[in-house]
Amino acid sequence: MHPQRVVITGVGLTCPLGNDLPTFRNALLAGKSGVVKFPVRNMGEQAAGVSEFEKTKYQNRKEIRVGTRAGGIGIFCAHEALENAGLDLKDIDPSRIGVYLGITEHGNVETETEVCQLVDHYDEDVKYWTHHHNPRTVANNPAGEITVNLGLTGPHYTIGAACAAGNAGIIQGVQMLRLGECDQALAGGVSESIRAFGIFAGFKSQGALAAHDDPTQASRPFDTDRNGIVVSEGGCIYVLERLEDALLRNATIIAEILGYRINSDGTDYVLPNPERQEECIRQALTNAELDPSEVDLVSTHATSTPQGDEQECKAVRNVFGENSSTLINNTKSFIGHSMGAAGAIELAGNLPSFEDGVAHATINLDNLDPNCHLPGLVINQPQEKKGGVNVILNNSFGMLGINSVLLLKKFKGLGRDIIYSP
């Protein structure tokens, strides 16, 4: 028996290229970078992706002061997703809404800031340590802040899945809907990574932090001159529903989730394993009952690190071969790496392809690394897919060898199918 069909009916996001899907999509099609110079404690200005959303749209200043940046991002995205889905909380049982958010890390921003303040201004006197520290730093905080803000009483938690977390949050939402644990799932990922010195310092110590005189060109996956990650922030939350429920309320159906897989390399803390990445892709295709030839667009994880990009390309080539009809792109070239939010944000940037049949480009790709050759790679200019885009595969991989793959299809059944109007 086939599992219950689950669909996306709402999208809420903030990223370095905008605070709604149409704005984000237009910037991608225009080839616009969202990377800027950003001051980092003890490191000076670094290339980074900064999200500029209206913080007071859904929170007052006291709530912002008590809460966290990641929580504020989550609150903004959740409200926007519910509005986009046409859902009014007055009409929904709050105990039947689940919140499942992917994160890479949480609490280090607040802890790092508070420690620096304690040392720099208060002579290490702990009586000045904020009493808000504990709720700010617990792992479930970003999801919990959403439930407090919206008055939701259903399940909430975060999924710590490194840079695969955005996909993992969506997968968790699908599973909980199929289990009957909720009727609507707010699922995706959030990140406040640019606020932590330690993240920049860690990547720099690994030789994996991007450096370029022009920040807009710092993130350059697959290019021979790539030299590391551009750290970014942002979030994307989806409203997920069972298909029958979405149809019952005549919802706009953005896409249907066909299949997924999460697996582990089991080999190294940092270095990716292309064999396990390939296995994850193949298992997701099997789960979705699809042949590789049926995939129209592959959204790559590639972070602009020399070895990581090469290993993913090996995995993708092994699955899709020399099939140039499967288009391949990368969103990090525009906005950098938003860590736990990456998979969810990058998926959003590609969802309008179901409507317009166009794959956005991979930018900053001036000299293709021969080891990163992919027949269908879309380079520097958007490309229209002959026959349209009906199936999207979304890669998202993380440290400690966690791999995640999502497969989605254009919904062609009953209900309204329009998702995007430029």
Q: Tell me the per-residue pLDDT of 123-140, one tens digit each, with 9 for 90 and over.
A: 888 777 888 888 999 999
Task: Point out which residues pair with 263 in neighbouring strands.
Answer: 403
Checking if the pLDDT of 27 tops 80, the result is yes
How much is the mean pLDDT over the chain?
Answer: 95
Q: Which residue from 323, 245, 252, 263 is spatially nearest to 291, judged by alpha carbons?
A: 323
Average pLDDT over residues 161-179: 98
Active site residues: 163, 301, 337
Give the percent of the chain with pLDDT over 90: 88
Query: Which tens digits make up the pLDDT trace of 74-113?
Result: 999 999 999 999 999 999 999 999 999 999 989 888 888 8
Checking if the pLDDT of 334 tops 50, the result is yes
Average pLDDT over residues 245-256: 97
Question: Residues 238, 244, 246, CA angle at the centre, nearest 5°?
Answer: 40
Comparing 324 with 191, which gets the higher pLDDT?
Answer: 191
Question: Residues 105, 111, 112, CA angle at the centre, nearest 5°?
Answer: 95
Query: Which tens digits make up the pLDDT trace of 147-156?
Result: 999 999 999 9
Which domains are assigned to the chain? 6-248 (3.40.47.10), 260-409 (3.40.47.10)
Q: Which residue from 187, 169, 199 is spatially nearest to 49, judged by alpha carbons?
A: 199
Asked if 226 and 367 touch (Cβ cutoff 8 Å), the reply is no
Q: Which residues of 63-86 are buried (b: 16+ CB within 10 A; e: fewer)?
A: bbeebbbbbbbbbbbbbbbbebbe
Average pLDDT over residues 406-417: 77
Query: Which tens digits make up the pLDDT trace of 350-402?
Result: 999 999 999 999 999 999 999 999 999 999 999 999 999 999 999 999 999 99
Q: What order of strands is seen across the sheet that includes strand 44-49?
A: 35-40, 44-49, 231-232
Question: Residue 359: what are its φ and ψ, rounded to 5°?
Answer: -100, 125
In whole angstroms, give the CA distance from residue 357 to residue 387.
8
Average pLDDT over residues 29-50: 97
- pLDDT for the residue numbered 414: 53
In whole angstroms, give the CA distance from residue 216 to residue 49.
10
Query: Which tens digits make up the pLDDT trace of 269-291?
Result: 999 999 999 999 999 999 999 99
Checking if the pLDDT of 304 tops 90, the result is yes
- pLDDT for the residue numbered 49: 98
